[in-house]
Amino acid sequence: MPELPEVETVKESLKTLILGKTIHHVDILYEGIIHGTTKDYFSKRLENEILMDIGRFGKFLFFRFSTITLISHLRMEGKYFLKHSFELIAKHEHVIFHFTDGTSLRYHDTRKFGTMELVEPGNEFLMPNILLMGPEPFDNQFNLSYLKSRIKSSIRPIKSFLLDQNNVSGLGNIYVDEVLFLSRVHPETQVKNLSDSEILKIIDSTQAVINKAIELGGTTIRSYLSSLGITGRFQNELNVHLRALKPCIICNTPIIKIKVGGRGTYICPTCQKRKG
């Protein structure tokens, strides 16, 4: 579930906790998480590396060590915990970074969907999956003419379009539902049918939602709960997501749940009318 605001929150929390630490060794308990190299090479390459900085692009985290960068994607349920090295391995802990100071960073992922990959410093944005990603919501390249160039004559539903990281980086299911509610746009609207003013409204709403969510430390529901002891507060701001049958805050119509592009989707059927 972690989307841009949650990953940003994780990044900032990790920076206060582990910046400057040196890796003693790495234990890999489930190698499916490690991509691009063997688990042995991965572990070996990280030994003695010092964590200099942590960056983020979209939902990707970049752990910048002295001579190598680790790219981490949490996918659905990835989480990090900082523990003492002597603590027992908990269920679903798949990668453990042991630091020289006796602490350890534990990567926990119930569904094992998350990924980690090493890349030479500075080459993050050349990775095939990152290379083609669109701008982040608050990037000034995320504007009307850019979106129109991406839309062309596409018939995709706007919800699928916004979830596509190659159009805009960092949005996931929760925030797209919120953005479209604020924009009063039905998620199944084909993007080629959006007016300029609707696109502008979507840009505004995206920036508003993401900025507010970052401010509040993300959204705490289900699996994002208590990673690093973080409790986000944006869940109190959700207008539609997970609010099926509850009254719309604008018009009191009960929120309904539909399926768009195979994804569970929450809308107000009154505020978000289908076009035509």
Nearest C-alpha neighbor of 159 from the set 172, 147, 140: 172
Catalytic residue among 21, 39, 56, 59: 59
The verdict on whether 233 is a catalytic residue reads: no
Residue tagged 């119509």 (tokens):
253
Q: Which is nearer to DNA, 225 or 250 (CB)?
A: 225
Give Cα separations from 30 to 35, 60, 61, 75, 95 (angstroms). 11, 20, 20, 16, 7
Exposure letters 200-216 (e unless 16+ CB within 10 A, then b): ebbbebbbebbeebbeb
Binding region for DNA (CB under 7 A): 1-3, 32, 58-59, 73, 75-77, 91-92, 110-113, 129, 152, 154-157, 160, 163, 165, 172-174, 221-224, 261-264
Query: How far from chain centre, in Å, is Cα 250?
Result: 28
- Strand, helix or coil for residue 27: strand
Q: Residue 23 Cβ, how far from DNA at the closest point, in Å? A: 26
Q: Residue 103 Cβ, how far from DNA at the closest point, in Å? A: 25
The verdict on whether 198 is a catalytic residue reads: no
Catalytic residue among 45, 112, 263, 269: 263
DSSP string, 92-119: TEEEEEEETTSEEEEEEETT---EEEEE
- Angle of helix 196-215 relative to helix 4-18, nearest 10 degrees? 30
Q: Residue 240 Cβ, how far from DNA at the closest point, in Å? A: 12
Structure tokens at 233: 């507060």
Q: Which is nearer to DNA, 57 or 207 (CB)?
A: 57
Q: Which is nearer to DNA, 193 or 252 (CB)?
A: 193
The verdict on whether 263 is a catalytic residue reads: yes
Catalytic residue among 2, 5, 137, 157: 2
Q: Which is nearer to DNA, 49 or 109 (CB)?
A: 109
Q: Residue 39 Cβ, how far from DNA at the closest point, in Å? A: 15
Q: Which is nearer to DNA, 11 or 25 (CB)?
A: 11
Q: Residue 166 Cβ, how far from DNA at the closest point, in Å? A: 8
Residues 6+ apart with CB under 8 A from 213: 3, 4, 5, 175, 219, 232, 234, 237
Q: Which residues is 266 bridged to in the sheet?
A: 257
Q: Which residues are catalytic?
A: 2-3, 59, 263
